Amino acid sequence: MKAITREWLNAANDDLIAMEVMGGREEITNMVAFHAQQAIEKSFKAIVEEFNFGNIKTHHLESLYSKILPILSGFNERILAELDTVYIEARYPGDLGLMPHGKPSIEEAAVYSREAVKIKEQIELFLKNRNS
């Protein structure tokens, strides 16, 4: 595995840790959604780097997923689409991680968190098995 690939996965892991610490707190479900989006984005970018797909400058999960589909598939596209609506370029501090309908519910945040963990773990396993 390339060093840059490992860096992306380590950065994704930081987001997973943040989600774990924040999980179950209704007042910050938006931040859980934000970190889920970030963890998935960084996990996808690890694949992009490992397979030399070029410098893809996007935060759009569906676009990144389409780039890695020839290599890896099976992720929940509905959740990716939902997380693509996270307001990343916030103009006000309270907006960060908001979705079009506002803050996600605790249940939604938990779903996003589980999917982010699943994607990162599957990508790491895929890369580990590939390099074995």
Summarize pLDDT for 26-41 with one digit per residue, the tens. 999 999 999 999 999 9
Q: Average of pLDDT values for 99-108?
A: 86
The residue among 14 and 57 whose pLDDT is bigger is: 14
Q: Are 63 and 129 in contact (CB under 8 A)?
A: no
Give tens-digit pLDDT for 58-85: 889 999 999 999 888 999 999 999 999 8
Report pLDDT for 38.
Answer: 95
Q: Give the whole-angstrom CA distance, residue 72 versus residue 62.
A: 13
> Is it the case that residue 90 has pLDDT exceeding 60?
no
Report pLDDT for 35.
Answer: 95
30: Cα within 13 Å, side-chain hemisphere: 17
Q: What type of residue sits at position 46?
A: A
Report pLDDT for 92.
Answer: 62
Report pLDDT for 56.
Answer: 80
The CATH number of 3-130 is which of 1.10.287.610, 3.30.390.30, 3.40.50.300, 1.20.120.330?
1.20.120.330
Q: Give the whole-angstrom CA distance, residue 31 versus residue 100.
A: 14
